[in-house]
Amino acid sequence: MAVQYEDALENLLWLSTKLIGARTLFVSHIEETFKVIKVFNEDGCYLNEGMELPKDHAI
């Protein structure tokens, strides 16, 4: 199940970069912290999956 979720996110981000023309797109979750869940990066900004920051540093 987790593999299908990861594959779906990866496919969604890849397609989105092609449609939008962005070099980097990501999915994140914001509650107590800002956490990067999935990244599609083609020489864009520096983001890593699993990166976690305090909300006030991410917004």
Q: What type of residue sits at position 33?
A: T
Among the listed residues 3, 10, 32, the one whose alpha carbon sits nearest the alpha carbon of residue 52: 32
Q: Where are the beta strands (DSSP E) in 1-59?
A: 24-30, 33-41, 52-54
- The pTM of this model reads 0.72
Q: What is the DSSP letter of 46?
A: -
Give the pLDDT of residue 57. Answer: 80
**pLDDT, tens digit only, all 59 positions of the chain:** 567 888 888 899 989 989 998 888 888 989 889 999 999 888 888 888 999 999 888 76
- In whole angstroms, what is the distance from residue 42 CA to residue 31 CA? 27
